[in-house]
Each structure stands twice: as C-alpha cells, then as structure tokens.
Amino acid sequence: MDKEQAQKRAEELRPLLQYYTQKYFDDEQVVSDYEYDMLMRELKQIEKEFPDLITEDSPTQRVGSSIKKGFEKVTHEVPLQSLQDVFTFEEVEEFDERMKKAAEEFGRPLDYVVETKIDGLSSAIEYRDGKLVKGATRGNGLIGEDVTENIKTIKTVPKTLKEPISITVRGEVFIGKEDFEKLNENRLLDEQEQFANARNAAAGSLRQLDSKITESRPLNIFIFNVQKCEDINFETHYESLLYLEKLGFNVNPVKILCKNMEEVRKAIEDIGNMRDKLDFGIDGAVVKVNDLELREKVGTTFKTPKWAVAYKYPPEKKETLLKDIICQVGRTGAITPMAILEPVHVAGSKISKTTLHNEDYIKENDIRIGDRVIIQKAGDVIPEVVGVVKEKRDGTEKIFHMPEVCPVCGAQTVREEGEAVWRCIGIECPAKLYRSIIHFASKDAMNIDGLGEAIIGELIERKLISNIADIYKLTFDDIASLKKNGKKFAQNMMDAIEESKHKDLYCLINSLGIRHVGVKLAKTLTKYYKTMDDLMNSSYEELKMIDDVGEITALTISEFFKQNQTIDLIEKLKQAGLNMNAFKEENSDNRFDGKTFVLTGGLQNYTRDEASEIIEKLGGKTSSSVSKKTDYVLAGEDAGSKLKKAQELGVTIISEEEFVAMIS
C-alpha cells in the first residue's frame, strides 16, 4: 500500500472507528469486538508505517468516552489507561523481549502476572480511613463520571474495609453469565430490547442517573489494581492483589504468577480452555509485569502502559443442529421464534437456544428445522445463527411457519402491516396476564390505587388471580395477607376496586389494552357507542368511518371483540358489577364543535393533557400533527417544527393568552 492509498484508507477508518467507539461507550454495540479490533489494528498499522498520517483526533490517540450528561466530572489522580491489544503469541513474545531488555538495563527481576480480561466497565473507587467516599467511571482515562451512589448498590463493593486505610483501587464492573441470561430473558418477556452483551448491560446499568435502576440490575465487580496507596509500598503487583483480598475486596479470581514466557503461554492457553467454566465473561488474557519498580522505569505512552499487553482470543464459530423452532410469547403478546439447538459450547457458554428475531429473519436466511447451522458468539455477544450449512441438507428439513393461533392460549395471532412482529390478541392469555393487569389497574384505565406491579406479581404467584376479572373476586383477607399488618392497605384497595366498578365506559375500553386504542380514542368511541354491547357488535366498516380510527385500528378493534376470550372477560366483568355505559355529557357547551387543535411547546397554566381535556369537553378534538384540516395551533414556549409547519400552511396560531380568552 503506497502512502496515497494509506491516507485514503485511514480517512475511511477514523470516522468509522469513532462512531463505533462512541456507540460502545453509549452502551450500544453495533459491531462485534473482533470486527472493531481488526479495524483498529489496521489503522494502527497504517499509522506505524506512515507516522506523519497520525492526527490528534485519531481513535488510536484517545482513551475512553465522553462524559454522560447529568453526572458530575471526576478527575482521576492516577489515569485509568487502556491496554495494548495483541492477537498472536508472537506479539506476546515481542513484548517479552522488550521487557527483558528493560529488566537487564535497570537491574530488576522479571516475572509476570496473567489475569483474565473481564469485559465490563472500568471504574475507580476511593476509600478514606477505610470508608468508601467516591466511585467513578474511567471516562476518557483522565476525567470520569461520579457514580458513587450507583457503585454503593453493588453488593460485592465493600462500604467499609477491614483496615482503616486510605486507598484508591481499580476494578471492572460486570454482569455474570447466568445473571445476564436471566436479565435478557426478562427483557424479552417484557418486549424490551435485549442487551447485545453483558458489557453493554453492565455499563448501561452503572451509568444510570437513577440509582434505583442500577440497584435492580445484577452488577458485580472484580478489583484488579491498586491505583494509589500512600500508607503501604508494595514491591509487586501480585503482593498488592493478595493484600486487596485481605481488605475485603472481590479480587479477580484468575491471577497466575508466571516466571517466564513458557509459563505465560501456558497461562494464556489455560485461560482460553477454562472460558466455558468461568461464571463471568472475558474477552482476553492480560499479561502484566509483576515488579512495580520495573513498571515505573518502563513507563507508559499517553494511552497505554508499556508494561502490559492484552491477548485477545479470536471469535468462535461452531456448527450444530437446529432441532426445532418454538415460539415464546412476551408479556404484551409479541411472539418471538426461538431456535432449539443441539447444545454446543461457544466462547465460554453452553448454547442450547437462541432467538431467531422474527419471521423475516428466518425467511431472509432460509433457516429450516433440521438444518446444520453456524452459531457465533464473539465475546459475550448474544449467540446468533449466522449461517446455514445448506450442502448438508438431506431433504428432511422443514420450512417454519409462524403460528396462526397463540401457542399459549389458542387465541388468534396477527401481524399488522408494516410490522415484523406477530402478536397474540387474546386478553386472557396467561403469558400476557401480568402486563394486562398492570395496564387494567393503571391511572388512565381503572385507576385501582395500591394495585401496583409488585402486588400484582405477588397475587399471580400465590394464584389469587388468573385473569383480570379475578381482581373483583379478591377478599379482604386475600389482600391483607400480602403485607404485614396489612388491614389498612387491604381496606384501601378494596375501596379502590369497588370505586373502579363505577368508572366511565371509556376507562374500561382503555383498560382492555386493545392495540392502538388509548384514552383519547376510547373517549372518541364512546361518542358513537354508548354501551359496551354497542361497541362489541360494531362492524369493521362502521369503525373505519369514525374520525381518528384508521383501517388498521378498525380491524384491530373488530377482531379483538370477536375473540372468545374477550367475550368471556366482558361477561365476567358485567357479572362483577362494572359499569358498561358511557356517562351522559353534562356540559352542553360545544363551542369547539368540529374544530381541531394541535398543541406544541410548553404552556404556563396547563399541562397538555389538561388543555386537551378542556378542548374535548367543549366539543373539539386534538391531533398530534399539523395539516390543512387543522383549525388552530396552540403554541407555547419553545414551540418547534409544528409551529413552522402551521405558518407554512397558513393555519391559525394562537397563544396561551388567546386560548384562555377563547375558553372563558
């Protein structure tokens, strides 16, 4: 490669690596560690061959990430540097040759400590007189984020040391393999996006502005270095690690003292072989000079210490049998196809199943039941089917079809236009029970005060409720049994349950969780259908003629009320005494009849919901987008694109003062 080609390639690599780096430190990984490492290695090689091509903003010259908004900055007294990556044992031997020369020059002993390279978020923790006073992320190596309150939520971080010493240590915050799998399984059930890997999950959890979220995540930490300690002068790194254990720290359990390069090679191989057995994920092995004075003599570059290297293991790919494809139903009804695999060990984990994402992914990759497939799991990335060995097909393979009925409850499944996901629409589906009841009891629905997520989970676990209607069968003793001295709590909830029976029909419609139907549309429906029976008997053709009800929503409502589960639930709620009728409008003032408002910007005297409610009570309606049919745009402070569009279309724009005058 000549210099012109090198410059062109370097200009391609820098912005790409900067983008990948920023995503990584924003806890969103868009390429595997291996792909990133290979691109970074290529750029380093170009800059090594042509040093005058190095730029100040090159990713090779920078450490870490920017500071997340909302955190206080912390300046590290001792920089938290990154490590020089190597990918072959020849490179480790070259490192050894440099260290031998240095040891001979400075007259120091040379041995090494080989440790696992945990794939997490590096952090520094400071103690004064044995008390934890500060925790910070690495950030850019020089300045990090103050995450003291979040660090304190990690159970393996001691709040008080066994000796009253002042010390700053460095560790890696991570999530163990089993904990990570459970975390992602729960997110899959909740239809939340899965974490790409344990590192992203750990980093995102530690960098939460709300420490309660951090506390809810299964974070762990391994301490691997003394950053600063004025009270004790250690001679070796290994000695310092043993002392950290004595103080009560959770020290990296894999630390192998090696006399020579032959033992280093064996340690790297042993760590590679034990990856399956470790209960935490790693992305390499770190080789460190043990003698601390030799480290001081060897020194560092701006970005990395010269006395250590990180050996990176290549990503593993394994072939296995795809035995079956089953469907998992999430808590809001989304159906996810899962590959059931002949168990295979990949990158430290035993893989027996993995998500196939959706119907389109299966079709695009022509994945069939009975195929031999290739599984990849680079580092701790979620295992994925990355290929099919089509030449091994023998004709017995079966094409997979998404189920037409829910595998859990037997209700109809639908895939709406423009979506990749199939969904169960059965309201009594056991897989959806938890989320269905949470929505049913929420403030904008039946507003059953006290019936929160934890109580709902407890009621389901104790088998006190198995469907929504069972809420109205709960007894005083059932509820009181959930809490110690729970009589007052039980009475309050019994009162809230009774009060919910008398809600307006629109609240009940909203509480059913019909897809695309919220409070606003539920209110609209009660203008046309005054009873639940009227709505249940409505046709698709009638529904799609209503303002704000498009064809997809009309079909969704129509199909929902045809389901046997829906009919059964409504009948149970009738028997429980719930109101099935729309309240009569007491307000005869329809001054905004036929008028459409769009609200934008911040209002001084009303929330948007309050302003919308006033408009609707006066016969008008609100919309989220500006069009030629919009009559008024109510513009508050910092109004944005909607105001601009209204000006372009010539729509009447009113201020909050003018709005107040209109409703007076």
361: nearest Cα among 338, 383, 344: 338
Backbone angles phi, psi at 272, to 5 degrees: -60, -40
DSSP secondary structure letter of residue 601: S
Buried b (16+ CB within 10 A) or exposed e, 238-253: bebbebbeebbbbbbe
Residue 376 DSSP SS3: strand
**321: which residues sit within 8 A by CB, 6+ positions away?**
341, 342, 370, 371, 372, 373
Using only C-alpha atoms, what is the Rg of the chain? 31
In angstroms, rounded to a whole number, what is the distance separating the alpha carbons of residues 133 and 371? 56
Q: Token match 């290549």: residue?
A: 314
633: nearest Cα among 590, 601, 593: 601
390: nearest Cα among 365, 356, 360, 362: 365
DSSP secondary structure letter of residue 277: T
Q: Token match 């690596």: residue?
A: 17
The CA-CA-CA angle for residues 164, 170, 175, to 5°, reads 115
| Whether the Cβ atoms of residue 19 and residue 36 lie closer than 8 Å to each other | no
| Whether the Cβ atoms of residue 270 and residue 282 lie closer than 8 Å to each other | no
Amino acid, res. 491:
Q
Three-class HEC string of 413-427: EECCCCCCCEEECCC
- In this structure, the number of other CB atoms found within 10 A of the CB of residue 260 comes to 11
In angstroms, rounded to a whole number, what is the distance separating the alpha carbons of residues 577 and 561? 20
Catalytic position from the list 117, 255, 432, 520: 117
What's the number of CA atoms in the CB half-sphere (13 Å) around residue 130?
Answer: 8
| Whether the Cβ atoms of residue 336 and residue 355 lie closer than 8 Å to each other | yes
In angstroms, rounded to a whole number, what is the distance separating the alpha carbons of residues 63 and 471? 55
Q: Which residues share a beta bridge with 341?
A: 322
Q: Token match 């009162």: residue?
A: 495
In angstroms, rounded to a whole number, what is the distance separating the alpha carbons of residues 245 and 49? 44
Q: Which residues share a beta bridge with 423?
A: 334, 414
Count of residues making up the chain: 664
Long-range contacts of range 655-658, CB-CB < 8 Å, 24 or more positions apart?
656/603, 656/604, 656/605, 656/606
Proportion of the chain in helix, strand, coil states, percent, rounded to 5: 40, 20, 40
The secondary structure of 7-56 as a DSSP string is HHHHHHHHHHHHHHHHHHHTT---S-HHHHHHHHHHHHHHHHH-GGG--T
What pairing do the DSSP bridges indicate for beta strands 121-128 and 255-258? unpaired
377 labelled catalytic: no
For residue 368 the two structure tokens come to: 């069939």
Which residues are designated catalytic? 117
